[in-house]
Amino acid sequence: MILGIESTAHTFGIGIVSKGKILCNVRDMYTTEKGGIIPVDSAKHHARVSDEIYKKAIDLAKIKERDIDAIAISQAPGLAPCLLEGMRFAKRKAKELGVPIVPVNHCVAHLEIGRITGASDPVLLYASGANTQIIAYAAGKYRVFGETLDIGIGNFIDTFARHCGMGFPGGPKIMEHAKSGKYIEVPYTIKGMDVAFSGLLTNLKQKFDKGEKIEDLSYSLQETAFAMLVEASERALAHTGKKELLLGGGVGCNTRLQEMCKIMCEERGCKFFVPEREYLVDNAAMIAYLGEIIYDSNNLKNNKSLKRFDADENTYGMLVYFEKDFNKLDINPRERTDDVNVRWK
Ligand code: ATP
Ligand code: FE2
């Protein structure tokens, strides 16, 4: 039984997984009235709510604390103060319970949680606020086939929405406005499998200032930005020869994006998977889920070769950290998806 902790940005969450089954997925989000996320304040939020979320998770999962075998933690990537708070909490709990810690990469967790939907080896279109990447596992690594060259898709949508006087988050509001809009020509930017949104953002803002209708702008925004994502995803499918597309990240809640992905997949003879909302947005169940896969593989490998995971030999990238090695376990705010040392597959 693995308890997972998520704390990369605004969400503090705890999820518990046993044998691939999610027993609970609890979270609390730091929000601001105006403007973006202030990392230090978000970290304070995490510190404030962590004990309560932990209790809630244990109750909801109907387990005893002593049943927990290990704690999985989102170690990377993210905002340093937030990651640190999660790590501090994980180490404290792990010491109390006498269990090891399994560090997990947040982006890889978004991909692997797709297994609960039936996807086995997908291309992931990871479309969240801060991240926009097309990721797949190939030749021993999780590779980024394409990504945004400037801002994340969610941040792009939220920035435009804020410019037009809508509150945060803008995504759901833009989706509503788009329903009664018609198309206006706006710039479409894709380079190979990479996309960019800042030109489109500037153009949309200018059109809004000139008095174009918000419905039409919302519609054109969605049709254009999502077509870019779908085109890049299709290239990644063609390039890798994979037959599954998985959607991840908060923007994946958008029903028009889901529909466009589905149509593209049908046309190529691929399968399309989208998890429920609670596993699309940042969540700790996915951290526990990947943590369990890594923990189990370590147990298997340890039986064969204990030495390989001896902390004194090679401290970087151990799969599982026991208390004697906690001082060697740190956050990794800038870890890239393709930096992940995959040794559990
Ligand atoms: P990460 O650290 O993984 O990048 P994040 O906080 O940046 O996380 P998420 O929590 O995954 O992002 O998602 C938040 C984003 O999802 C916001 O930008 C929000 O506007 C967007 N969003 C939510 N619902 C919708 C929707 N229906 N349509 C479009 N965007 C949406
Ligand atoms: Fe995320």
Q: Which two tokens stand for residue 302?
A: 């340890």
Whether 6 and 25 have beta carbons less than 8 Å apart is answered as no
- Hey, which of 253, 256, 277 would you mutate to test ligand 1's pocket, going by the most ligand atoms within 8 Å of its Cβ? 253
Is the beta carbon of 257 within 6 A of some atom in ligand 1? no
- Hey, which of 157, 176, 278 would you mutate to test ligand 1's pocket, going by the most ligand atoms within 8 Å of its Cβ? 157
**Res 148 pLDDT > 80:** yes
Can you tell me whether residue 39 is helix, strand or coil? helix
Query: Tens digit of pLDDT for each residue in 66-80?
Result: 999 999 999 999 999
Pairing state between β 21-29 and 141-147 = unpaired
Distance 223 CA to ligand 1 centre (A): 17
CA 49-45-100 angle, to 5 degrees, is: 60
Whether 176 and 222 have beta carbons less than 8 Å apart is answered as no
Distance 249 CA to ligand 2 centre (A): 6
- Atom of ligand 1 at shortest range from CA of 8: 2
Banded model confidence at residue 167, pLDDT cuts 50, 70, 90: confident
Indicate the DSSP class of residue 67: G
Distance 73 CA to ligand 2 centre (A): 14
Is the beta carbon of 158 within 6 A of some atom in ligand 1? yes
Integer CA distances (angstroms), 120 to 19, 27, 65, 114, 245, in order: 16, 27, 31, 8, 10
Q: Phi/psi at 321 (nearest 5 deg)?
A: -110, 125
Q: Structural domains in the chain? A: 2-110+282-339 (3.30.420.40), 114-280 (3.30.420.40)
Integer CA distances (angstroms), 111 to 15, 86, 119, 206, in order: 17, 21, 9, 36
**Cα–Cα dist 122/244, whole Å:** 5
**Res 298 pLDDT > 90:** no
Cβ-Cβ contacts under 8 Å for 263 (sequence gap 6 or more): none
- Atom of ligand 1 at shortest range from CA of 37: 6
Is the beta carbon of 282 within 6 A of some atom in ligand 1? yes
Query: Tens digit of pLDDT for each residue in 302-329?
Result: 544 334 444 444 445 678 999 998 998 9
Query: Tens digit of pLDDT for each residue in 20-34?
Result: 999 999 999 998 777
Mean pLDDT of 57-66: 98
Stated pTM of the model:
0.93
Query: Tens digit of pLDDT for each residue in 241-289?
Result: 999 999 999 999 999 999 999 999 999 999 999 999 999 999 999 999 9
